[in-house]
Amino acid sequence: MTLNREIILDTLRSVTDPATGRDIVASGFVTGVTIRGDQVGFVLEVDPAAGRTKEPLREAAERAVRALPGVAGVTVVMTAERPSEAARSGTSPSSGHGGHGAPSQEPSGIAQVGRIIAVASGKGGVGKSTVAANLALGLAHLGLDVGLLDADIYGPSVPKLLGLNKKPETDGKKLRPLEAFGIKAMSIGLLVEESAAMIWRGPMATSALMQMMTDVAWGPLDVLVLDMPPGTGDIQLTLAQRTPLAGAVVVSTPQDLALIDARKAVTMFQKVSVPILGVVENMSTFVCPSCGSTSHIFGHGGARDAASEIGVPFLGEIPLTMQVRECSDTGHPVVVCNPSSTAGGAFLAIADEVAAGFETVRQKPMPAIHIVD
């Protein structure tokens, strides 16, 4: 029997939600069925107000599909992005950004995360992690509950950027994220030796990264910022495909060579239908610390032009300054260390732009896992 979407949906019709007596397909919970060989994935989009109470449904759905002949692995991502019945009929008090839903006794991975956004780059060294950390802190500055997940297996820098060095503890089931400057954070660098993660091959890296997302007790978050591994290879593509991403921010430096790679990153996300929230030009203008004069070491404006050419938003420019690097090195990103500096202000303005973009991406269902069959 060749697996296809109909077979999966038929099987899932055998799983009934005891709360309503209706099956989970008829209830509209199942989205984004993917079939890749013998691996099946889908998303259960449940009412945020129901929170953790729907966990048994996730387990039942996973069991049902796993029992199908020809299925070797099943990934079920449960999201609580669906507006509640009350919210849909306009009778609920606003739950604010991200739809936290009712407090859950046992937060489950990404179930309470409003949206996940990726920060990516076509290649390493362009300041992707610096942007991810400052963006996360800038979003927190706007009053959002924010998490930062460092998935950069090639150079996890979030522990250094946020001054974190404690091993994360577990509550028996899930890892507790660490906290810094009001945001929650988890990094592959806190869990394994850097040299171990670097040699992971595609499937190992992807499953470790997926686990970091689901096996961390993030609790209610408006947004989880995912610092992606640099580049556009298999690991990045699979991660972009299998993570329920609400959008992606692509970081580039202005020179032509970097922009070629940034375009590839934009194309990668577009291929898997992840909306591009915008492009950031980092190391845009160099401000001489002694004389204050500006120069454009890597050129200037290339990312803005490339964004307009590709038809994606341009989010802003971050200058190349000693302070950005020095603040990062002391574990206090510039948004914390000097928010009123040019670079600090630029990051805060970018966070504003990104948050404004959420309103657009929130109108669409989370792209989640994408239909490929």
The residue within the footprint of ligand ADP, chosen from 88, 173, 271, 325 (CB under 6 A), is 325
Q: Taken in order 109, 111, 115, 116, is the CA torsion positive or negative? A: positive
- State residue 243 phi and psi, 5-degree precision: -95, 135
Q: How far is the CB of 222 from ligand ADP (least distance, A)?
A: 23
Q: Where are the beta strands (DSSP E) in the chain?
A: 16-17, 22-23, 30-36, 39-45, 73-79, 113-121, 146-150, 178-180, 183-187, 221-227, 245-252, 276-287, 294-295, 314-320
Considering only residues 221-280, where is the footprint of ligand ADP by CB under 6 A? 230
Binding to ligand ADP by residue 187, rule CB under 6 A?
no
Residue number with CB closer to ligand ADP (218 or 298): 298
Closest contact distance (angstroms) between CB of 124 and ligand ADP is: 4
Pairing between β-strand 183-187 and β-strand 314-320 as defined by DSSP bridges: unpaired
Instruction: Please report how close the Cβ of residue 253 comes to ligand ADP at its closest, in angstroms.
Output: 9
282: contact with ligand ADP by CB under 6 A? yes
Q: What share of the chain is helix, strand, coil (3-state, %, to 5)?
A: 40, 25, 40
Q: Beta-carbon neighbour count of residue 369 at 10 Å?
A: 22
Q: Shortest approach of ligand ADP to residue 52 CB, angstroms?
A: 34
- 3-class secondary structure, 185: strand
Sole binder of ligand ADP in the list 51, 155, 159, 220 (CB under 6 A) = 155
Tokens of 294: 């500006």
Query: How far apart (Å, rounded) are the C-alpha atoms in residues 370 and 373?
Result: 9
Which parts of 4-43 interact with ligand ADP (CB under 6 A)? none
Among 206, 238, 241, 328, binds ligand ADP (CB under 6 A): 328
Q: Tell whether the torsion through CA atoms of 191, 168, 223 and 341 is positive or negative.
A: negative
Q: Residue 4 and residue 17: Cα distance in Å, rounded?
A: 23
- Select from 108, 157, 252, 338 the one that contacts ligand ADP (CB under 6 A): 157
189 binds ligand ADP (CB under 6 A): no
Contact between 129 and ligand ADP per CB under 6 A: yes
Candidates 37, 73, 125, 202: give the one binding ligand ADP (CB under 6 A).
125
* CB of 70 vs ligand ADP, minimal distance in Å: 40
Alpha-carbon distance of 148 to 114, in angstroms, equals 13
Q: Is 320 in the site for ligand ADP (CB under 6 A)?
A: yes
Binding positions for ligand ADP, rule: CB under 6 A: 121, 124-130, 155, 157, 230, 282-283, 318, 320-321, 324-325, 328
